[in-house]
Amino acid sequence: MTIPFPAPPDLIYLDHAATAPLCEAAASAIRDGLRLYGNPSSRHDAGQSAHDALVAARGQVAVLLGCAPEEVVFTGGGSEAINLALQGTFAGRRGHLVTTAIEHSAVLECAAALSRRGVDVTVVGPEPSGHVDPARIAAALRPDTVLVSVMHANNETGAVQPVEEITGLAHAAGALVHVDAVQTAGKLPVAGLGADLVSVSAHKFGGPKGIGALRLSEPHTLEPLIHGGGQESGRRAGTENMLGILGMAAAAAYATEHLDNDLTRAAARRLRKRLVDGLSVVGGVRVNADDPVVPETVSVSFDGIRADTLADVLDAQGICVSTGSACHAGQDSPSHVLTAMGVSVEQAKATVRLSFGHGTTAADIDAAVAATVAAVDRLRRVSGTAVSGAS
Ligand SMILES: Cc1ncc(COP(=O)(O)O)c(C=O)c1O
């Protein structure tokens, strides 16, 4: 078995939802790929070697996505896959898009751009549990609904959405479905979702950053975002990012073999329980999102503390956590996901996300728990916050 890249010895990395460490299989595929200098579109031997490697890589990603290789379109990451799905579907047409208030900004900003071009957008809110009720999606569907875009699991809370049910309802109404599976590919099966379009990103499951894929189920077609030399069967022009693709394919194969299975999921649930139980001793603790969740992502609020201060205190001890989604780090506004769930602004600003993955050990969790409990306790003492229920 290939050993995943360990975090540096002095670092406890609990920010896998922002980006997962590169796995050793991906690193070695990238190293080998440096020797493949041909352009996969060239007829000569060097080009054909690159072409063969591209075909094999597409096949490995297709296995993870549970689709035919021809349905895989490589993109420059998850955001581009999402933009291709939404903009490509609505190119040259108006109609109606249904999405949810807890989507990643790649979906929400893309929906906003489409709305400025005349597409009618309905944004459905979540329940306090962090889940979108399929009945609310059904109520939003109209005869002119072209597309429903929903995420598989939320990047801040880990809440797994009832995607199969939503897909069934949307299809019955004649609409297409796009699923943002960036937070689940490699952790949960994404093959049987029934969606027409599925976006994934390599760096969330052990591959390199800046490479992703859109699964485009046949016979659905869409207008490319990037026009040019006809690569990716005319769906995304530009000489392929071979190193990224090879790294993504190796990470996909690694995830298919080692991560996306019941044993790994059971181990992740045990680590989650250890983390949540450990943190709860400090009292005044709330986990945002009920089951079902991806166990690896834990959104937790501590009464009376500021999340950014807590994250900085932990960072100074070599423990990496986040105060929300990485792409919003640095902003002082409360999380749009938590506020949509009905969480108060105060609680949202007291929320950190701890997310683990391949390579995380029980010892890492215990060390992070001990440091967090001590830091929360100290920060509350300094601010004079009294909390009931602390043991
Ligand atoms: C749910 C979700 N969708 C989309 C993205 C964007 O992916 P990328 O960083 O590859 O553009 C992310 C990244 O954080 C994400 O968590």
Question: How high is the pLDDT of residue 208?
Answer: 98
Asked whether 212 lines ligand 1 (CB < 6 A), one says yes
- Could you write out the three-class secondary structure of the chain? CCCCCCCCCCCEECECCCCCCCCHHHHHHHHHHCCCCCCCCCCCHHHHHHHHHHHHHHHHHHHHHCCCHHHEEEECCHHHHHHHHHHHHHCCCCCEEEEECCCCHHHHHHHHHHHHCCCEEEEECCCCCCCCCHHHHHHHCCCCEEEEEEECECCCCCEECCHHHHHHHHHHCCCEEEEECCCCECCECCHHHCCCEEEEEHHHCCCCCCCEEEEECCCCCCCCCCCCCCCHHHCCCCCCCHHHHHHHHHHHHHHHHHHCCHHHHHHHHHHHHHHHHHHHCCCCEEECCCCCECCCEEEEEECCCCHHHHHHHHHHCCEECECCCHHHCCCCCCCHHHHHCCCCHHHHCCEEEEECCCCCCHHHHHHHHHHHHHHHHHHHHHHCCCCCCCC
Within a domain: 362? yes
Q: Are 310 and 2 in contact (CB under 8 A)?
A: no
Question: How high is the pLDDT of residue 384?
Answer: 83
Active site residue: 23, 67, 320, 327, which one?
A: 327
Question: How high is the pLDDT of residue 192?
Answer: 86
Residue 298 lies in domain: 12-21+261-383
Q: Is the pLDDT of residue 157 over 90?
A: yes
Question: How high is the pLDDT of residue 259?
Answer: 79
Q: Is the pLDDT of residue 389 over 70?
A: no
Cα 388 to ligand 1 centre (Å): 37
Per-residue pLDDT band at 263 (split at 50, 70, 90) = confident
Q: Is the pLDDT of residue 341 over 60?
A: yes
Within a domain: 351? yes
Mean pLDDT of the chain: 94
Cα 72 to ligand 1 centre (Å): 18
What's the structural domain count of the chain?
A: 1
Within a domain: 304? yes
Q: Is the pLDDT of residue 2 over 60?
A: no
Asked whether 324 lines ligand 1 (CB < 6 A), one says no
**327 has catalytic annotation:** yes
Question: How high is the pLDDT of residue 327?
Answer: 44
Per-residue pLDDT band at 383 (split at 50, 70, 90) = confident
Averaged pLDDT for residues 86-114: 97
Atom of ligand 1 nearest to the CA of 82: 4
Within a domain: 47? no
Q: Is the pLDDT of residue 33 over 50?
A: yes
Question: How high is the pLDDT of residue 83?
Answer: 98
Cα 13 to ligand 1 centre (Å): 18
Question: How high is the pLDDT of residue 260?
Answer: 75
CATH assignment at residue 308: 3.90.1150.10
Tens digit of pLDDT for each residue in 47-85?
A: 999 999 999 999 999 999 999 999 999 999 999 999 999
Within a domain: 195? no
Q: Are 73 and 207 in contact (CB under 8 A)?
A: no
Atom of ligand 1 nearest to the CA of 203: 10
Within a domain: 244? no
Asked whether 357 lines ligand 1 (CB < 6 A), one says no
- Nearest residue (by CA) to ligand 1, atom 9, is 78
- Of 67-71, 232-236, 261-265, minimum mean pLDDT range: 261-265
Cα 63 to ligand 1 centre (Å): 21
- Of 169-173, 253-257, 274-278, minimum mean pLDDT range: 253-257
Cα 161 to ligand 1 centre (Å): 16
Atom of ligand 1 nearest to the CA of 154: 1
Within a domain: 129? no
Asked whether 130 lines ligand 1 (CB < 6 A), one says no
Q: Is the pLDDT of residue 1 over 60?
A: no
Within a domain: 16? yes
Averaged pLDDT for residues 156-174: 98
Asked whether 151 lines ligand 1 (CB < 6 A), one says yes
Specify the pTM.
Answer: 0.95
Averaged pLDDT for residues 9-15: 90
